[in-house]
Amino acid sequence: MKTTINRMFAILFAATLLFSCEATKNANNKQKGAVIGSAGGAVIGGVVGNNTGDGNTALGAIIGGVVGGAAGAIIGNRMDEQAKEIEQEIPGAEVERVGEGINVTFDESSGVYFDTEKYNINAKSQQTLNKLADIFKEYPDSNILVEGHTDDTGSETYNLTLSKNRAQAVTNYLTNQGLSSGRFETKWYGESQPKYDNETAEGRAKNRRVELAIVANEELKEEARKQAEQKN
Q: What's the CATH code of the domain at 140?
A: 3.30.1330.60
**Average pLDDT per consecutive 10 residues, the chain (232 residues; last block may be shorter):** 35 40 42 43 39 56 81 94 96 91 88 82 93 97 96 95 96 98 97 94 90 95 93 76
Residue 143 amino acid letter: N
Domain hosting residue 162, numbered range: 2-231
Residue 128 confidence (pLDDT): 94
CA distances (Å), origin 176, targets 143, 169, 201:
16, 10, 33
Continuous H helices in the chain: 2-24, 29-36, 42-50, 58-64, 69-89, 123-138, 156-175, 201-207, 218-231
Residue 46 confidence (pLDDT): 38
Total number of domains in the chain: 1
pTM of the predicted structure, to 2 decimals: 0.76
